[in-house]
Amino acid sequence: MMDLHAAQIQGFFKKPVDHLIARPLLVKYLKSLSLNETVIVSPDAGFAKNARKFAAQLGASFAIGDKTRSDHGENAEIMEIIGDVSGKDAVIVDDFSISAGTVVETAKLLKKRGAKKIIACFAHIPLTEKGVEAIENSDINLVISTDSINNDKVKKSSKIKIISVAPLFAETLKRMQSRDSLSQLFNAIPEEVYTASISFMDD
């Protein structure tokens, strides 16, 4: 499995479960974009720990959004950005987005605080049509995610780039069969796996 919304879910299975992480693949792609003075932004406190790992692997600074919800729906209000984003390329990271409400509101506030290029980065992308439309009409320059979910709706957007995780799952299965270590895949992606993943981007 990949990027479970809560790590505790892994313990609910009776069979052994390997919890893969999209972050090393996404980080490697972000490095290829030659961003200028990058700041990693967590849209709320809930994803801050994972966002700090993105920042550490990219050698980037870190900021966090102060988010509040008035109900249990998808609507959230970003009250403030805690951290310096002025003059920097901001990368908003989260595990997934459905309506794009949080990421769009975060991007709007980042722009007000002086961020230059704004990128959103997700492990999964179950965006609705309205979510895709919100991305298209937002301050976000680029969205990067994986094909862990087959979502034809995102193909309509020129802003959304999809990296395939099929080579990563194939490499995992190969290592399981040969009883090789999986631990390397949790921190870094072998070059041949990354190359194969990127080759699917324009397909």
Query: Residue 161 catalytic?
Result: no
DSSP-assigned beta bridge partners for residue 142: 119
Residue ranges and CATH numbers for the domains of the chain are 21-164 (3.40.50.2020)
- Encoded tokens for 98: 């459905």
- 99 three-state secondary structure: coil
- pLDDT tens profile 10-47: 778 888 888 889 999 999 999 999 898 999 999 988 89
- For residue 109, name the pLDDT band (cuts at 50, 70, 90): very high
Nearest by Cα to 196 from 164, 154, 158, 155 = 164
Question: How many whole angstroms separate alpha carbon 146 and alpha carbon 25?
Answer: 9
Which residue has tokens 């990563």?
A: 168
Tell me 6's DSSP state. S
The one catalytic residue among 67, 112, 130, 153 = 67
- pLDDT tens profile 173-196: 999 889 888 888 887 889 999 999
